């Protein structure tokens, strides 16, 4: 285990090597899948739950907009978002995690990578994305959401948009953030990083303006010298900046 204090030096080296291998496998698998939007959400809301339908429609609309939909690769709202992307004929990828009770990749992924370490998984979820959408979820979703928030707030990544879908669900959190701003724990401008809505239409319009129009989005080209090829055959990048870009 990684977080069990100091180990013998050879054991520490083996942990480092395994983490590097995790990164290399992830980079190799996902290098050509973007631009992505990473969708966070609970693994516990299955088909039939209203949030599942919301997540599926979100994935579909993101794919229509031209993004690859990236999730944690598991069940619940992650599955729904990936499923929505496939409904629209779009790209769908996942960063799965190996757990004691094994989490299987959902059935709607074109490509996925399974990570041993959560910190590697987090890097992959953020590395290829130009926006983040948080659907209702639990501790894992909150953890990923605040990771995105922190990376943007501290300028470790660009000011990519963060959308919270489900205003009533997220109200206790947004109330807490407003309290933090009032008390000076965060800046009032930090609140501008979040866009809270119940409308998928409004979310998509926000991403059009603050992701597509704001950033030059393009897919990297494979190198034949390295034996690389596009990860998802037969799919085309369909990102079209609006006329005001």
- Determine the pLDDT at residue 239: 46
* 183, part of any domain: yes
* 58, part of any domain: yes
Helix 118-127 crosses helix 139-153 at what angle (to 10 degrees)? 60
- Determine the pLDDT at residue 228: 55
CB-based contact 206:165 (threshold 8 Å): no
Confidence of residue 243 (pLDDT cuts 50, 70, 90): very low
For the segment 93-120, the average pLDDT, to the nearest whole number, is: 88
Q: Which domain holds residue 179?
A: 11-219
The CATH number of the domain holding residue 194 is: 3.40.50.450
Q: How many domains, in total, are found in the chain?
A: 1
Tell me how crowded residue 131 is: count the other CB atoms within 10 A of its CB: 26
Q: For the chain, what is the mean pLDDT? A: 87
Q: Give yes or no for residue 165 having a pLDDT over 50.
A: yes
Question: Is the alpha carbon torsion for 50, 53, 56, 61 positive or negative?
Answer: negative
Q: Give yes or no for residue 198 having a pLDDT over 60.
A: yes
* 81, part of any domain: yes
* 238, part of any domain: no
For the segment 197-221, the average pLDDT, to the nearest whole number, is: 85
* 154, part of any domain: yes
**Residue 224 burial by CB count (10 A; 0-12/13-18/19+): exposed, middle or buried?**
exposed
* 231, part of any domain: no
* 242, part of any domain: no
Confidence of residue 101 (pLDDT cuts 50, 70, 90): low
* 228, part of any domain: no
């Amino acid at each position: 285990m990684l977080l069990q204090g100091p180990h013998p030096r050879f054991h520490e080296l083996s942990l480092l090597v395994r983490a590097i291998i995790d990164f290399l496998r992830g980079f190799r698998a996902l290098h050509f899948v973007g631009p992505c939007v990473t969708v966070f959400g609970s693994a516990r809301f299955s088909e039939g739950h209203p949030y599942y339908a919301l997540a599926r429609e979100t994935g579909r609309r993101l794919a229509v907009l031209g993004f690859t939909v990236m999730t944690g690769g598991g069940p619940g709202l992650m599955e729904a978002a990936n499923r929505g992307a496939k409904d629209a004929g779009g790209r769908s990828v996942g960063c799965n995690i190996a757990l004691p009770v094994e989490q299987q990749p959902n059935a709607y992924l074109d490509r996925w990578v399974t990570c041993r370490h959560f910190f590697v998984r987090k890097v992959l979820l953020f590395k290829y994305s130009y926006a983040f959408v948080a659907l209702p979820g639990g501790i894992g979703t909150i953890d990923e959401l605040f990771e995105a928030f922190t990376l943007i707030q501290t300028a470790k990544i660009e000011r990519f948009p963060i959308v919270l879908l489900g205003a009533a669900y997220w109200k206790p959190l947004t109330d807490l953030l407003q309290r933090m701003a009032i008390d000076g724990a965060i800046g009032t401008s930090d609140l501008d990083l979040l866009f809270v809505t119940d409308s998928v239409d409004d979310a998509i319009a926000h991403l059009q303006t603050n992701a597509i129009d704001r950033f030059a989005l393009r897919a990297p080209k494979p190198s034949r010298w390295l034996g690389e090829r596009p990860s998802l055959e037969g799919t085309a990048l369909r990102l079209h900046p609006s006329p005001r870009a």
